[in-house]
């Protein structure tokens, strides 16, 4: 099952639950998940990564806006090292052909305590620990916190 995030298709990118792929010239080369083009050493095993991609993908499927709005606003995620970040995808206000990715929430896995640290992006554009529940035991608990957003930190 392929997922199109926002205007990513217009930018020559395709998401297939495994990675972003560049479709330029018909070549489906996986792109680095770090955005720096260098690739990132993953802190998760391949099995864990696939499971996390499935779990977050299912969460996003439930939260995404209707299809007719996705070129104006959508949500996506990235996995970097031991963190999973959820972000919004929308056109830049003064250049609709360019996309921006304002962050929504981040969870970082802490192996020593077998838990996830929960973060939210404040107006200062820095990640801050989520005060009400700074640690959760599972990725599913993190996604539940983000979905409920009882303090208005993630979705506004």
* pLDDT per residue as tens, the chain (156 positions): 333 344 444 444 444 444 443 333 333 434 434 443 444 456 799 999 999 999 999 999 999 999 999 999 999 999 999 999 999 999 999 999 999 999 999 999 999 999 999 999 999 999 999 998 899 999 999 999 999 999 999 998
Q: What is the pLDDT of residue 151?
A: 93
Q: Give me the residues paired with residue 127 across strands.
A: 121
Strand pairing category for 74-80 and 83-92: antiparallel
Q: What is the pLDDT of residue 28?
A: 40
Distance of alpha carbon 156 from alpha carbon 143, whole angstroms = 16
| Angle made by CA atoms 77, 134, 110, in degrees to the nearest 5 | 70
- Model's pTM, two decimal places? 0.73
Provide the CB-side half-sphere exposure for 66 (13 A, CA). 2
Distance of alpha carbon 121 from alpha carbon 103, whole angstroms = 7
Q: What is the pLDDT of residue 41?
A: 53
Helix (H, G, I), strand (E, B) or coil at 10: coil
Q: What is the pLDDT of residue 4?
A: 38
């Amino acid at each position: 099952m392929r997922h199109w995030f926002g205007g990513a298709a217009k930018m020559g990118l395709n998401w297939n639950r495994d990675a972003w792929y560049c479709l330029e010239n018909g070549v489906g080369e996986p792109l680095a998940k770090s955005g720096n083009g260098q690739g990132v050493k993953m802190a998760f095993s391949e099995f864990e990564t696939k499971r996390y991609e499935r779990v977050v993908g299912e969460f996003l499927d439930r939260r995404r806006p209707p299809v007719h709005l996705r070129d104006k606003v959508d949500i996506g995620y990235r996995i970097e090292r031991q963190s999973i970040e959820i972000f919004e995808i929308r056109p830049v206000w003064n250049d609709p052909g360019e996309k921006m990715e304002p962050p929504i929430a981040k969870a970082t896995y802490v192996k020593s305590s077998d838990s996830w640290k929960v973060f939210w992006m404040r107006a200062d554009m820095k990640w801050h620990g989520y005060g009400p529940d700074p640690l959760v035991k599972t990725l599913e608990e993190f996604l539940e916190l983000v979905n409920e957003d009882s303090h208005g930190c993630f979705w506004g």
